[in-house]
């Protein structure tokens, strides 16, 4: 429900923020459904990421001042609101010269893409990666960050009525190859590997058959990282992939990474700086977005849950 709440008093270490924009991500829906790994104590305000402008700061706040742009430092902040009072340590400052939609969608998908490309395999220019759900928010960020690093990307999407349009959009972002899940099984895949090496890293957001097919193309001793399960089916791996090709299967969850690095502000700041520089250089853009006024939140939630969605719903606050 859309509800009027009383504004809490501003404490010495608190920051009063006017929220500007906040996206709706699949994980936000899962939290509302009660099926996500972290759940906010009820009653709760929805959402996990967004951008706001500082209106006022408490007397002990040192890192922020009125006018600064801020994003949540962790999940569960509840940014689907017009204003809020938050402790200083739950906010991260971001440059005001980046586009609003880039700032609003910065703390989840681009961070997930950045960490998966950096933390599991040592990739060098000319290496390749393969990913499914390539049109998702993370998928679009992976394409762009890989391109900026000289890494080739093979991008798997589901077949759909407007496939040529989607392929064109992903290629414009910097995708090297876009294939459908059906194509993964076909001999044409050999053509791709005449010009680029087999991937050392596979990124899986789907599960089920899609994963098994993607795994076939991974180099021996390569790593597959699972960060989502959109098909709601288990990851199926042939025994031979483990024995004869020694592939590694790992999982990744951005919320856990943030918990593990809560005391390591250097890593967090380094990642945010790198991403903001890519945005400032025009090498990383916001995913395709549909802007929705807060009062139309129901329509935005429904649109997020439809299949074949290639546009992220953003609540304008």
Q: Which residues are part of the catalytic machinery?
A: 36
- Give me 164's structure tokens: 């040529």
Q: CA-CA distance, 231 to 43, in Å (whole number)?
A: 30
């Amino acid at each position: 429900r859309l509800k009027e709440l009383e504004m809490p008093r501003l404490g010495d270490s608190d920051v009063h923020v006017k929220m500007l924009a906040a996206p709706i991500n699949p994980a936000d829906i899962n939290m509302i459904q009660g099926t996500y790994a972290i759940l906010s104590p009820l009653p709760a305000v929805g959402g996990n990421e967004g951008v706001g402008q500082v209106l006022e700061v408490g007397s002990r706040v040192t890192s922020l001042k009125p006018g600064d742009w801020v994003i949540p430092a962790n999940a569960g902040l509840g940014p689907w609101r017009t204003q809020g009072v938050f402790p200083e340590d739950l906010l991260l400052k971001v440059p005001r010269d980046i586009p609003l939609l880039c700032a609003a969608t910065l703390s989840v998908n681009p961070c997930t893409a950045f960490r998966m490309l950096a933390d599991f395999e040592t990739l060098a220019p000319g290496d390749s990666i393969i990913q499914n759900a390539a049109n998702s928010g993370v998928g679009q960020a992976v394409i762009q960050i890989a391109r900026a690093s000289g890494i080739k990307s093979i991008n798997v999407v589901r077949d759909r009525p407007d496939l040529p349009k989607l392929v064109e959009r992903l290629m414009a972002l910097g995708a090297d190859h876009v294939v459908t899940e059906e194509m993964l099984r076909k001999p044409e895949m050999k053509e791709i590997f005449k010009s680029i090496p087999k991937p050392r890293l596979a990124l899986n957001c789907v599960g089920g058959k899609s994963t098994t097919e993607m795994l076939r193309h991974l180099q021996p001793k390569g790593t597959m990282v699972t960060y989502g399960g959109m098909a709601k089916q288990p990851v199926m791996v042939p025994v031979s992939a483990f024995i004869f090709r020694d592939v590694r299967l790992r999982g990744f969850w951005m919320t856990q990474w943030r918990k593990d690095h809560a005391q390591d502000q250097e890593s967090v700041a380094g990642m945010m700086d790198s991403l903001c520089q890519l945005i400032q250089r025009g090498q990383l853009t916001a995913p395709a977005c549909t802007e929705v006024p807060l009062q139309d939140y129901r329509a935005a939630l429904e649109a997020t849950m439809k299949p074949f969605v290639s546009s992220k719903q953003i609540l304008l606050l």
